Structure 1
Amino acid sequence: MWLRMFASVVIPTYNRRSILEKCLLALEQQILFSELDGYEVVVVDDGSTDGTPSWLRDEASRFPHVRVVEQEHGGPAEGRNRGVDNSRGDLIVFIDSDLVVTESFLACHARALQKSWQQRGDRLSFTYGAVINTANFEQPTTEPHKFQDNSWAYFATGNVAIDREVLERSGLFDTNFRLYGWEDLELGERLRQMGVELVKCPEAIGYHWHPALRLEQVPDLIRVERERAKMGLIFYRKHPTRRVRFIIQFTWLHRLLWELLTLGGLLNERSLRPLLGWLIRNGHQGLAMELLRLPLNRIGVRALFKEAALTGLR
């Protein structure tokens, strides 16, 4: 029997007011099919300093589906948990605040879940939509799908939908993940252990906007890699398996790989700077980012091993 659902879209945000506006306007345009009774959008502001909460209150008439929840800066794990606590839907949809979705986004998630639940005879499944990366701020939805947009993650909160009761039974997100990275994949490991099935839903499309690479961003990208290393070890301590080692790249194989590909560190963010600058000036920011990923991966893996050594983890 087909059941109608009410969806709660949970969006943590931090200083992303400009793209958040596009995100919320797209959500206001949703076309609901028979599977959905309605929906709400719960925006959790994570202590933004760009005036996001007051702007949302001032613009409330433009976003009738939106409710705003505020918290001190505590990270996306705490924000998503708070969003779930303040939501009323039996279907929880997680997206990021820099995602612009299509009109049928929610309906596609709901339809794919209904089909899966009917086939399984239970609700132990979640849908994972398509995420297309773009640097086109004015028209993000014109970006074509690229090979680099494919993801092999099990549970990534950029675009997923899951039954509320199943999510709550998993324990929600671990708020020890206060820095960047891994809180969603860690929850995914617990869902996997519960036997929750991943259902791909490529029709539920979201366009993930991020600014085109600039050389001024490099120090911040390095900081993010070091934060990911710290959070990666929290992930591994909770799930000390070979699978998680490979997910976070905490293996000697990964260490050897990135040392070889960067010629032992000769190819680094400093030595590559002239080439990166030339690529950026000539409109090849995507290629520049792919090239920069080589030293960034080396930095991240070296940080993992260094942090592990400091804490006595092997």
Structure 2
Amino acid sequence: MLFSVVIPTYNRLPILRQCLAALEAQDLSTAPEAEDYEVVVVDDGSTDETVTALQQAAYPHVRLLQQDHGGAAMARNRGVKAARGSVIVFIDSDLIVVKGFLAAHACGLQRHWRHRGNHLCFTYGAVINTSNFTQPTTEPCKITDLSRAYFATGNVAIDRHLLLRSGLFDTRFYQYGWEDLELGERLRQLGVVLVRCPDAVGYHWHPPFQLRQVPRLIRQEKERARMALVFYRKHPTLRVRMIIQFTWFHLLLWELLTLGGLLNARTMAPLLAVLVRRGRPGWALELLRLHLNRVCVQTIFAEARHQPRQAPQPS
């Protein structure tokens, strides 16, 4: 079993260095079926020093591919097509993994393949969110780290032929969000099951919340809303409507929780600033999510009213 770890990246060189260093330190000794691995980094048109740094650095397992800025879906597709391995592992370039990460995925896949007699599964590792740049792996697991998502590409491993059979990622998801969960819907239709792999731990680093991030977070929610409609129009089911919060229940929910919009980024700014100053940026971000969710749901409904419904196109 040869692993190909596919990593799209865009202007994330400092944390990418930690990501690649952790991958170079992988120990496969507990998974004899895992022969070796490669790391396929797809630079999505970075404007920082990512390409130069990777070309000059000594990462024995890394292969660098380059493309113009086209989004994560396009970058992952490029990585999968160039991969030499029989198993694809998707992580993001801000994930720092433990030494037994690949071995855990290998053991999880092999157990399920033997038990079910087919490869119709993928392993889903644990993701722990952290803002600790210097020692990310010291972060404890929190209740907010738990996820019920199906095929979120922050930490999954899957048979390459099965992935190709599914049609890969839809490149119409060129903005933030949903390209992985949409592929997950197609995998689900093929009978592919999720296998939890808690020992394949990755620490997802993001900078501590600061008030200056608010405009970017709001723009990101509006992008996520537009991509949510692409998702729903490919899969117009109640399940997908619930996933993307495209229901009157969600619209009413976030109106109530924000008091009809009275609780927003501007009115909550003083409280958010206090929480940040007192070393509680995570609490501040969770509070801001009330407003961000309202922005996302309102944008979905607004875009749905103004965009004509189009027939699904091939991926």
TM-score where L is the length of structure 1: 0.97
CA shift, 1:109, in A, is: 0.3
CA shift, 1:312, in A, is: 4.1
CA shift, 1:35, in A, is: 1.8
Q: Which residue of 2 aligns with 1:56?
A: 54
Superposition pairs of residues 96-115 of structure 1, within 5 angstroms: 96-115=92-111
Q: Which residue of 2 aligns with 1:35?
A: 33
Q: Which runs of 5+ in 2 are unaligned?
A: 310-315
Aligned partner of residue 36 in structure 2, secondary structure: strand
Amino acid at match of 1:221: L
Q: Residues of 2 paired with 1:262 and 1:289: CA distance?
A: 15
Aligned partner of residue 32 in structure 2, secondary structure: coil
Q: Residues of 2 paired with 1:77 and 1:85: CA distance?
A: 12
Q: Which residue of 1 aligns with 2:227?
A: 231
CA shift, 1:86, in A, is: 1.1
Aligned partner of residue 154 in structure 1, secondary structure: coil
Aligned partner of residue 36 in structure 1, secondary structure: coil
Q: Residues of 2 paired with 1:266 and 1:181: CA distance?
A: 27
Q: Residues of 2 paired with 1:303 and 1:285: CA distance?
A: 26
Aligned partner of residue 70 in structure 1, secondary structure: strand
Q: 10-19 or 304-313: which moved more? A: 304-313
Residue 256 (1) aligns with residue 252 (2): yes
Q: Residues of 2 paired with 1:155 and 1:252: CA distance?
A: 26
Residue 11 (1) aligns with residue 19 (2): no
Q: Which residue of 2 aligns with 1:91?
A: 87
Q: Residues of 2 paired with 1:275 and 1:161: CA distance?
A: 41
Question: After TM superposition, which residue ranges in structure 1, 4 or more long, deviate above 4 angstroms?
Answer: none
Residue 65 (1) aligns with residue 39 (2): no
Q: Residues of 2 paired with 1:35 and 1:248: CA distance?
A: 39
Amino acid at match of 1:52: T
Superposition pairs of residues 199-210 of structure 1, within 5 angstroms: 199-210=195-206
Residue 221 (1) aligns with residue 217 (2): yes
**1:4-38 deviation per Cα after TM superposition (whole angstroms, max 9, x unaligned):** x0000000000000000000000000001202110
Q: Which residue of 1 aligns with 2:113?
A: 117
Superposition pairs of residues 93-172 of structure 1, within 5 angstroms: 93-172=89-168
Residue 184 (1) aligns with residue 180 (2): yes
Residue 285 (1) aligns with residue 278 (2): no
**1:66-124 deviation per Cα after TM superposition (whole angstroms, max 9, x unaligned):** 00000000000000000011110000000000000000000000100000010110000
CA shift, 1:311, in A, is: 1.3
Residue 274 (1) aligns with residue 270 (2): yes
CA shift, 1:51, in A, is: 1.4
Aligned partner of residue 175 in structure 1, secondary structure: coil
Percent sequence identity over aligned pairs? 66
Q: Residues of 2 paired with 1:107 and 1:174: CA distance?
A: 29
CA shift, 1:208, in A, is: 0.1
Q: Which residue of 2 aligns with 1:46?
A: 44
Equivalent residue in structure 1 for 2:207, among 208, 211, 229:
211
Q: Which residue of 2 aligns with 1:310?
A: 306
Aligned partner of residue 290 in structure 1, secondary structure: helix
Count of residues in Structure 1 that have an aligned counterpart in Structure 2: 308
Aligned partner of residue 201 in structure 2, secondary structure: strand
CA RMSD of aligned residues (A): 0.9
Residue 74 (1) aligns with residue 70 (2): yes
**1:181-209 deviation per Cα after TM superposition (whole angstroms, max 9, x unaligned):** 00000000000000000000011000000
